[in-house]
Amino acid sequence: MVEDLYIACHRKLMDLSWRIIKKSRCNLAELGFAWNQYSVLKILEQDQAMTLSEISARVHRKNSNVTPIIDFLVSKGIAERIPDEKDRRIIRVRLTDEGVAIREQAIAHHDNFIRQLYSTLDEEEMKSFMDIVDVFLEKIK
Domains along the chain with CATH numbers = 36-139 (1.10.10.10)
Query: What was the pLDDT predicted at 84?
Result: 87
d(CA 28, CA 25): 5
Per-residue confidence in pLDDT tens, the chain, 141 aa: 566 988 998 999 999 999 999 999 999 999 999 999 999 999 998 889 999 999 999 999 998 999 999 999 999 999 999 998 888 889 999 999 999 999 999 999 999 999 999 999 999 999 999 999 999 899 988
Query: What was the pLDDT predicted at 92?
Result: 95
